[in-house]
């Protein structure tokens, strides 16, 4: 069952204090920050933990922890890779978990796993310093974090209308930059603190921050707008009336896995996801080591320069997203904006990394690295927006599929960097930057040719209805005061920016001029998790129906 809208019938400004969906966006951003903090601080902590990495000439290195390890760069690569192997596995089951226990509870469980593992790492290193045991703990952390992106994308798809999704994705993903920037800078400073013997302080502190976050997350987030007690009827109508929704009437929606996985549009999204993760994991895991070994930075300067790119991304992501939404509102084609944004991210980053390879000036190199990572912020209005736009009913599946590609890149990147940088020389790092730049170019070209940000025919086409075991109808409602048009299942559905009223005399079987309930249409629908919803139905009626 499909409800199609052109413009919201009840405008509800996103940027107001009482807007629940804005609160959801910032809570998702805080969750992303917590995950980034728990995941990303190990790269800087390793600079302090490994004996071979000690830079005794740096005047600010006033304290050296007595808890040190003798790991090679290959061992470090294995530790980083183990985390992303865990995320790869959990991504594959993220959609099923979201259906079984809800996206909110799945995210909560993942964060709890990460908090416990982060607290456990210093103890493991103290009693069992072999890198294999630390790699095992990181693997468990990966299992907890892999479910986060698919579940968060599902929440965004349910809570935000199309014209707000780029902004929502930017707010949400900005939390990652906040967490990574804090992890890089604060960990470098905590390494010099004598309390808890230096670097272990960061592990215990970040776990405590994660535990405090859960106190805000649990009471304020709902899986669906309709289940939120704090949402107003106007905001609920704004969310539901602005979306293309593909629903089923008293039956489960069949997911066209073969069509979805083989779609060039989805593959283009997945390759861009691969590219972004390949860039980010390489930088998060090894940028502090590059600054230490090649540019000879001390621990404080290292933390400062390692955090700058992620601090800048906090603002650049919002800038790119606001710019994309502004252009959409003023009539620019969604596909054009999406492809242009993705090109800025892919080709801009590639150019910066190529220039890094041909210069030896340390300040210029660090500036180019910052600029290259800043430009990757354009992935938000690029392929990230495509994830929640090309097939809204299958957002969780597409997000999980894209994350599978991202996790493959995340597993491969540390192994590649560790294999090339055996001695961590400048020439070895030039090869690393060239490989990353080439990856950006290839995936960027593929998205330019095949990428899209409009709903695909297989996501709303006639064959979807043909798969149902009962009669289905296409229901289109333009506003609370307009006509309700009920058409046969065989009627072709309209795509974005098409006015369904121009052919209404040919398509409708029944037209009823009526004022609909502003809260919701009185129809039965089925959510992605399989729950039958009858808008306006109270709990007693729902229990009686289920009996």
Q: pLDDT at position 435, please?
A: 95
State pLDDT tens for residues 70-86.
888 888 888 988 998 89
Distances, alpha carbon 113 to alpha carbons 23, 69, 137, 320, in Å: 25, 25, 10, 33
Instruction: For residue 487, give the 3-state DSSP assignment.
Output: strand
CA distance 9 to 205: 47
Please report, for the chain, the start and end positions of each structural domain, with discontinuous segments joined by +.
20-223+232-458, 472-546
Cβ contact 79:117 at 8 Å? no
Please tell me the predicted confidence (pLDDT) of residue 246. 38
Distance CA 104, CA 500 (A): 36
Map 302-370 to HEC letters: HHHHHHHHHHHHHHHHHHHHHHHHHHHHCCCCHHHHHHHHHHHHHHHHHHHHHHHHCCCCHHHHHHHHH
Q: What is the pLDDT of residue 259?
A: 87
Please state which of the four CATH numbers 1.20.1250.20, 3.40.50.300, 3.40.30.10, 2.60.40.10 is assigned to the domain occupying 20-223+232-458: 1.20.1250.20
The pLDDT score that the predictor gives to residue 206 is: 93
Both tokens of 302, joined, read 């290292």
Cα-to-chain-centroid distance, residue 282: 18
Output the pLDDT for position 44: 86
Mean pLDDT by 10 residues, the chain (547 residues): 44 77 91 91 85 48 68 86 88 83 91 94 90 93 88 86 77 84 88 80 92 92 86 81 45 73 92 93 87 86 88 83 82 86 94 93 92 90 85 80 85 88 88 95 94 83 44 40 39 42 38 42 43 51 53
In 3D space, the residue among 269, 250, 259 whose CA is nearest the CA of residue 339 turns out to be: 269
Residues shown for the chain = 547
Q: What is the pLDDT of residue 64?
A: 64
> 517-526: string of b/e by CB count within 10 Å (b at 16+)?
eebbbebebb
Q: List the structure tokens of 197.
A: 């013997």
Residues 444-490 have pLDDT tens digits of 999 999 988 888 888 775 444 444 443 444 444 343 333 334 344 44
E-strand ranges in 187-288 read: 245-246
Phi, psi values for residue 43, rounded to 5°: -55, -45
Residues 6+ apart with CB under 8 A from 304: 185, 188
pLDDT for the residue 490: 41
- Looking only at the bridges linking them, the beta strands covering 473-477 and 510-513 are unpaired
pLDDT at residue 243, rounded to an integer: 56
How many other CB atoms are found less than 10 A from the CB of residue 488?
Answer: 13
Cα distance between residue 129 and residue 482, in whole Å: 69
Distances (CA, A) of 92 to 12, 192, 452: 36, 40, 24
Q: Which residues of 103-140 are buried (b: 16+ CB within 10 A; e: fewer)?
A: bbbbbbebbebbbbbbbbbbeebeeeeebeebbbbbbb
User: Token match 């106007």: residue?
Assistant: 234
- Return d(Cα 168, Cα 166) in angstroms, integer: 5
Q: Do 228 and 222 meet the contact criterion of CB atoms below 8 Å apart? A: yes
How many helices (H) does the chain have, and how many strands (E)? Answer: 20, 7
């Amino acid at each position: 069952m499909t409800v199609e809208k052109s413009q919201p019938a009840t405008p509800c400004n996103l940027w107001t204090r009482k807007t629940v969906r804005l609160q959801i966006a910032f809570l998702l951003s805080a969750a992303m920050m917590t995950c980034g903090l728990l995941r990303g601080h190990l790269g800087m902590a390793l600079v302090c933990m490994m004996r071979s990495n000690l830079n005794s000439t740096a005047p600010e290195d006033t304290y050296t922890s007595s808890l040190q390890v003798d790991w090679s760069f290959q061992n470090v690569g294995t530790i980083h890779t183990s985390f992303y192997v865990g995320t790869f596995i959990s991504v594959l089951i993220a959609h099923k978990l979201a259906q079984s226990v809800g996206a909110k509870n799945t995210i909560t469980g993942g964060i709890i796993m990460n908090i416990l593992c982060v607290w456990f790492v210093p103890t493991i290193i103290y009693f069992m310093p072999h890198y294999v045991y630390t790699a095992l703990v990181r693997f468990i952390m990966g299992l907890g974090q892999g479910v986060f992106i698919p579940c968060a994308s599902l929440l965004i798809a349910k809570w935000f209308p199309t014209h707000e999704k780029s902004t929502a994705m930017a707010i949400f993903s900005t939390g990652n930059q906040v967490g990574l920037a804090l992890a890089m800078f604060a960990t470098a400073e905590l390494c010099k603190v004598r309390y808890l013997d230096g670097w272990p302080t960061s592990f215990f502190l970040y776990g405590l921050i994660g535990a405090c976050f859960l106190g805000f997350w649990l009471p304020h987030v709902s899986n669906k707008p309709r289940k939120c007690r704090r949402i107003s009827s106007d905001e609920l109508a704004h969310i539901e009336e602005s979306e293309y929704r593909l629903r089923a009437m008293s039956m489960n929606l069949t997911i066209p896995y073969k069509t979805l996985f083989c779609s060039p549009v989805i593959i283009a999204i997945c390759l861009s996801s691969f590219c972004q993760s390949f860039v980010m994991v390489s930088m998060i895991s090894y940028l502090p080591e590059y600054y230490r070994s090649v540019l000879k930075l001390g621990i404080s300067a290292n933390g400062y320069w390692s955090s700058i790119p992620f601090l800048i991304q906090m603002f650049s992501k919002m800038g790119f997203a606001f710019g994309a939404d502004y252009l959409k509102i003023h009539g620019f084609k969604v596909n054009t904006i999406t492809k242009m944004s993705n090109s800025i991210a892919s080709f801009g980053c590639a150019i910066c990394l190529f220039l890094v390879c041909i210069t030896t000036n340390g300040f210029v190199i660090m500036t180019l690295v910052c600029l290259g990572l800043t430009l990757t912020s354009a992935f938000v209005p690029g392929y990230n927006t495509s994830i929640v736009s090309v097939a809204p009913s299958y957002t969780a599946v597409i997000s999980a599929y894209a994350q599978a590609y991202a996790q493959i890149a995340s597993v491969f990147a540390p192994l590649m960097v560790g294999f090339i940088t055996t001695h961590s020389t400048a020439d070895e790092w030039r090869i690393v930057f060239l490989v990353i730049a080439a990856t950006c170019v290839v995936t960027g070209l593929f998205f330019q040719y095949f990428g899209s940000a409009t709903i695909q025919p297989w996501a709303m086409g006639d064959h979807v209805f043909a798969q149902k075991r009962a009669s289905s109808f296409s229901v289109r409602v333009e506003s609370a005061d307009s006509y309700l048009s009920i058409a046969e299942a065989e009627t072709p559905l309209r795509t974005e920016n098409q006015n369904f009223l121009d052919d209404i005399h040919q398509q409708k079987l029944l037209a009823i001029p009526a004022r609909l309930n502003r809260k919701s249409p009185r129809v039965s629908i089925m959510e992605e998790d399989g729950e039958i919803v009858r808008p306006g139905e109270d709990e007693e009626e729902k229990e009686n129906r289920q009996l």
